[in-house]
């Protein structure tokens, strides 16, 4: 695609809306089918800038910077529906009560758009406390022995599974790149050696001519 703008092509599981620029969390930030669990770090109130103008809003900030299903965790503007859910979950909506609590988010596809009255996607808080799941140990890189960390927009477990499929072992992004570079270098070396061998075994022209002359005669040794 020809353009003067600086663009990067999305590939694989990367999707539209995932790289959007915004100060606040939106439905587009959450991967399809994922219900991320976040820990409330602080409660805020003030004037925020929205598409329809500036409004006074309550905002939640979170302890996590990145979780499964959200590439970049941002503060969440709290609407009346989610405020009621928080009160129902924890008894009240005081900072002393909510800070440190975990909530589970999901995308509701039937939220009423205040601008045009139509239906749109919105973030909702599940009306129950997140179920504590047994955490599996983080995957470890076979080559360097370090814990595999998220990279290139993928979480650690995705990288571990992808590299295991392509390299036979689980690798971090850096070690996978080293293996890829080494494989490319080895292939180039093989091609150079093959080309050199081909030049060495090609007979000189006079030898070829002599063989042809003998072949044209009545007797061939």
The per-residue pLDDT for range 22-34, each reduced to its tens digit, is 789 999 888 888 8
For residues 77 and 55, is the Cβ–Cβ distance under 8 A? no
Q: Are 24 and 91 within 8 A, CB to CB?
A: no
pTM over 0.75: no
Angle at 129 between CA 128 and CA 134, to 5 degrees: 130
The pLDDT tens digits of the residues spanning 97-108 come to: 999 999 999 999
For the chain, residues with pLDDT lower than 70 are 1-2, 13-15, 17-20, 132-136, 202-221
């Amino acid at each position: 695609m020809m353009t003067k703008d600086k663009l990067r092509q999305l590939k694989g599981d990367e999707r539209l809306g995932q790289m959007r620029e915004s100060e606040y969390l939106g439905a587009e930030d959450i991967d399809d089918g994922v219900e991320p669990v976040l820990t409330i770090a602080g409660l805020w109130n003030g004037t925020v800038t929205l598409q329809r103008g500036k409004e006074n809003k309550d905002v939640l900030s979170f302890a996590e910077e990145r979780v499964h299903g959200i590439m970049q965790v941002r503060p969440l503007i709290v609407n009346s529906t989610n405020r009621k859910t928080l009160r129902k979950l924890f008894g009240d909506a005081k900072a002393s009560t909510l800070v440190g609590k975990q909530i589970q988010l999901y995308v509701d596809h039937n939220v009423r758009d205040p601008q045009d009255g139509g239906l749109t996607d919105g973030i909702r808080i599940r009306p129950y406390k997140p179920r504590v799941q047994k955490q599996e140990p983080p995957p470890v890189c076979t080559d360097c022995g370090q814990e595999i960390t998220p990279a290139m927009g993928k979480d650690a477990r995705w990288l571990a599974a992808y590299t295991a499929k392509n390299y036979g072992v689980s690798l971090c992004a850096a070690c996978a790149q080293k293996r890829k570079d080494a494989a490319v270098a080895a292939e180039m070396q093989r091609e150079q050696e093959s080309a050199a061998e081909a030049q060495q075994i090609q007979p000189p022209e006079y030898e070829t001519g002599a063989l042809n002359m003998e072949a044209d005669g009545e007797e061939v040794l």
